[in-house]
Structure 1
């Protein structure tokens, strides 16, 4: 469990955070701050600066003074909606560490609390408000539904253990071939000899490279990001929501798509409440009223 102490960013670290996560929109003369939890550029004011700028950056003080200080030291780079602020994707080990340190269950009344990194305090979370307080950096790879299951359990779900050779045989015997025939307990030496031939020598095992992690498939990306992540992401877009933009920017998948994947994307978009439209230049998606 975390000690709740706030580690303040000072000097170059604070300046670096502001350079990465603040922008100036010359068209509206407004300062925008990147919400590191929801991954959205948000117009900042004296009223909401405490909800956008992390406590470790702004420090303690009067909101008016904090607003003036942040605005004075913020980056003057022009706002580009296609460029994000800090949006790191954390792996399973980081998620497990976060659950151990930044999630707790309380009683009387019973509730689940997580540590909000912007506000610098513990907040009560439900499945409905989870995206407001749990950084997208953690739940992006698995989706909000799976993230809530982990937070309820307080642990990352362990992958299912692989079946042994005997378990596979029993499964096939029961489900494919009917009743499993009884076999003698004495092992067949011929089977042992054949199996041994396939085991690599110890010196070969030392040089065997670890298998490359398998990237999520297109269908898995759709399941993880539709419709919850789509709604949050779409709210930060200012231009037309094209299929290519959804695939490359939201799903982080290569374009163009195969015909099968195009149909899967179109079906997922329609189920999420979007309709395809087109003008003289392009085809795009609009949210149903």
Structure 2
């Protein structure tokens, strides 16, 4: 499949947050962008136009008048971006990461994240930059504004950063007699970033972990219990289990795992947020998001 390099005005609206009507006015009044036209006279924009609009949108959203932005040359534009980025680092970083995504530009991704890490810990970076970016990309993917290849590129790089943090934390020996978490994604679930960051937070809280990863049938959990007792299982439901209700999944969990009342299960993810906690067995806990997870881990330590 060809990678998307041409964009409609609706794509630009979705990516920049600037309304299509406003983009048209800026084109006419300030000659801001120069789109090509299709045979049917539809505007069509290239990657350079997209990158330019992302920069314009950043300055405009930071209070710079469009008339002033339009009058800037390339050097002056970079200077203005640098000035405002010093105050709005996270917003500028998200814009830079979008550019890195469309260019498949690993060095730009690394440079952007490294600059943020100079003044932010990894947890802050995840909450203020990675989560908003991923949520936006999810919407852009569903509307067809970006290709799956773009979303996969940036997601894999974020996963690599989380894994690097996990590896560093795993070098620290955990205290004896503390709970051990076994993390897994349900069968056919492959969206791993949420589970990886949960892994990072559990290790940061100084608990031991067993990480099974993606696409794990329930029967596989029984094998772990042959070697470890009284685990806390933690799973992350993004799109799976699809055809089954959460209630049905929990019944299968109870039938598969012996002594289920003593075998706790913590559930996270998009599908869990919509679940009525009243239907959950006493050994199952719904975790709203990663901030709630941090709170629950702190409570467990007490």
TM-score, structure 2 normalization: 0.25
- Work out which of the two has the higher radius of gyration on C-alpha atoms and give 1 or 2: 1
Higher relative contact order (CA 8 A, sep 6+): 1
TM-score, structure 1 normalization: 0.26
